[in-house]
């Protein structure tokens, strides 16, 4: 971690699917926004950087292993973070879980003092690890993650219970074991239980505030 003043602090939150990454990111975002100002903090989701698959048929898109690092355009994500750190705005892609591809529209992200990055495979990529000023791993028990994923994917991502369970056994769990769990070693902070862990939220907020002052 650099001792010089930070123009832009990038905090990564990794962990299993449905482990509470988005929840802790949005909680820290909402609470810090009140302190550092509306335009000074932003959240970027790794999911927005799934590869563009618009050239593939739907039949082929569903064959992709979305829990493998190769499903993600980490180079574009790193390029965007570096641009933001230089004070340039970027166009964050929008991704559709129903269409399994990038949408035509994008979202403009202006430079911020704090960017919270959240995603399952962030800590598997050395270039991303270098860019982050601090990283968190959500160490939520896998049975809790599966329960939450079932509820969420059926309610919000247009899935059936059966398809969630098949995908879980086919890719989600094996890729967690192969890539996500081993990437925990690179985290600075390991958070047990999930996104509602109040002490973890407060530690994160205090750390970001310190980085911003340094
Ligand atoms: P979170 N995912 C899909 O199911 N379809 C897609 O087109 C893109 C991603 C899933 C992905 C991963 N995998 O487990 C999850 N599968 O989104 C990551 N299978 O999102 O961290 O919000 O759970
Ligand atoms: Mg999420």
The H or E element containing residue 137 is strand 134-139
Query: Domain of 60: which CATH number?
Result: 3.40.50.300
**Sequential DSSP letters for 73-129:** -HHHHHHHHHHHHTT--EEEEEEETTTTEEEEEEEEE---SEEEEE-TTGGG-HHHH
96 phi and psi, to 5 degrees? -110, 120
- The ipTM, to two decimals, is 0.92
How many separate domains does the chain show? 1
Centre of ligand 1 from the C-alpha of residue 67, in Å: 7
Local structure of residue 4 (DSSP, 8 states) = S
Widest pairwise Cα distance in the chain: 51
Closest CA to 9 of 205, 211, 206: 211
Local structure of 68: helix, strand or coil: coil
Within a domain: 108 = yes
Within a domain: 1 = no
In whole angstroms, what is the distance from residue 183 CA to residue 46 CA? 15
Within a domain: 2 = no
Within a domain: 58 = yes
Band the pLDDT of 7: cuts 50, 70, 90.
confident
User: pLDDT tens digit string along 68-114?
Assistant: 999 999 999 999 999 999 999 999 999 999 999 999 999 999 999 99
**What pLDDT is stored for residue 5 in this prediction?**
52
Pocket of ligand 1 (CB under 6 A): 17-18, 21-22, 47, 50, 66-67, 97, 100, 120, 167, 171-172
Q: Whose CA is nearest to atom 16 of ligand 1?
A: 66
User: pLDDT tens digit string along 26-67?
Assistant: 999 999 998 888 788 999 999 999 999 999 999 999 999 999
Within a domain: 176 = yes
**206 annotated as belonging to a binding site for a ligand:** no
Centre of ligand 1 from the C-alpha of residue 96, in Å: 10
Cβ atoms within 10 Å, residue 18: 25
The ligand 1 atom at the shortest distance from the C-alpha of residue 21 is 21
Range of the domain at 130: 9-209
Within a domain: 167 = yes
Within a domain: 214 = no
The ligand 1 atom at the shortest distance from the C-alpha of residue 159 is 4
Within a domain: 116 = yes
């Amino acid at each position: 971690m650099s001792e010089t003043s930070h123009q832009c602090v990038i905090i990564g939150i990794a962990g299993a699917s449905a482990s509470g990454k988005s929840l802790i990111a949005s909680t820290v975002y909402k609470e810090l926004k009140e302190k550092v100002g509306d335009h000074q903090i932003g959240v970027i989701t790794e999911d927005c950087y799934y590869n563009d698959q618009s050239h593939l048929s739907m039949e082929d898109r569903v064959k992709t292993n979305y829990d493998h690092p190769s499903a993600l355009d980490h180079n574009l994500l790193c390029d965007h973070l570096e641009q933001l750190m230089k004070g340039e705005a970027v166009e964050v892609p929008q991704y559709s879980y129903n269409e399994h591809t990038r949408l035509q529209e994008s979202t403009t992200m202006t430079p911020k003092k704090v960017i919270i990055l959240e995603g399952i495979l962030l800590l598997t990529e050395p270039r991303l690890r270098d860019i982050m000023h601090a990283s968190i791993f959500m160490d939520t028990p896998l049975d809790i993650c599966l329960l939450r994923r079932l509820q969420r994917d059926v309610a919000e991502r247009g899935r059936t219970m059966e398809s969630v369970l098949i995908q879980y056994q086919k890719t989600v769990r094996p890729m967690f074991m192969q890539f996500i769990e081993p990437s925990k070693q690179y985290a600075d902070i390991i958070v047990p239980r999930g996104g509602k862990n109040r002490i973890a939220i407060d530690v994160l907020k205090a750390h970001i505030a310190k980085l911003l002052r340094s």
